[in-house]
Amino acid sequence: MAQYEHLMVEITGGPQGRASLAERLGAWSGADRPLGLFVSQLGWSASEVAILIEDREAATRDVAETLAGDHGLSLIQRRLLRQTLRPSAGARLTRGGVWVHRTFEVRTENLQTFIELSGEGWQDFERRFDVRVFGLFEVIEPRPDPTVTELLLLTRYGSHGIWEESRDPSTEAMQTFGRRAALTLRTRAASSLLAWSA
């Protein structure tokens, strides 16, 4: 099972700084693979970006350390992730639309039920709307409280309008997600644009 990292980074230099970072990610070589660079739309500071990296086995630590050593970057948060139902091996991010990064906290005893309800809801959700769930990840580091598990859901919507339309409580998907919400202790979301992908 592949592992991933989700890095939140503060970057200086505006669009030029982001373009420079994308160029460095594109040139990266090693067992790890930077998959995408996301820039803020709603929910993050304008200077914050997120980087998704696949496979921590050999070099993802080097990616984080390299970025942390760059005078134009500051590492804000680093999460080590384990895939659940998605992504599948070799999955790639697609450009266009908006990407929503949503975190959930659930009691660890409810984790498997939460995951199962997610997969059940996605069937109607993706069939009905211009939506594609890339991945639902379990956060394995940091893990300050073993009785609570954090998850990261990464979803592409055709637009913010599609996101709003998909909140329709009458759909089968939202009814399933309502059962999932009953297991959720906390959740928050931010939307972004995919500025670079492998």
Q: What would the pLDDT profile of 81-103 be if each residue is shown by its tens digit?
A: 999 999 988 899 999 999 999 99
What's the rounded Cα separation, in Å, for the pair 126 and 131?
A: 5
Report H helices in the chain. 14-26, 60-68, 111-128, 160-165, 172-181
Domain covering 3-83, topology: Alpha-Beta Plaits (3.30.70)
Question: Does position 8 have pLDDT exceeding 70, yes or no?
Answer: yes
The amino acid at 136: L
Taken in order 125, 126, 131, 137, is the CA torsion positive or negative? positive
Neighbours of 88 (CB within 10 A): 10
Q: What would the pLDDT profile of 117-155 be if each residue is shown by its tens digit?
A: 999 999 999 999 999 999 999 999 999 999 999 999 999
Q: Where are the domains of the chain?
A: 3-83, 98-197
Q: Can you tell me the mean pLDDT for 16-38?
A: 86
CATH class, 98-197 region: alpha beta
Instruction: Strands of the chain (E only): list them.
Output: 3-11, 33-42, 48-54, 73-83, 98-107, 131-141, 148-157, 184-197
Residue 57 contacts residue 3 (beta carbons within 8 Å) = yes
Q: Can you tell me the mean pLDDT for 157-174?
A: 96
Residue 59 confidence (pLDDT): 46
Same fold for the pair 3-83 and 98-197: yes
Name the residue with higher pLDDT: 32 or 43. Answer: 43
Q: What would the pLDDT profile of 62-87 be if each residue is shown by its tens digit?
A: 666 666 667 678 888 999 999 999 99
Closest CA to 192 of 32, 2, 65, 18: 18
Question: Long-range contacts: 86-92, Cβ < 8 Å, 24+?
Answer: 86/133, 86/134, 86/135, 86/136, 87/134, 87/135, 89/2, 91/134, 91/135, 92/35, 92/197, 92/198
Residue 31 confidence (pLDDT): 67
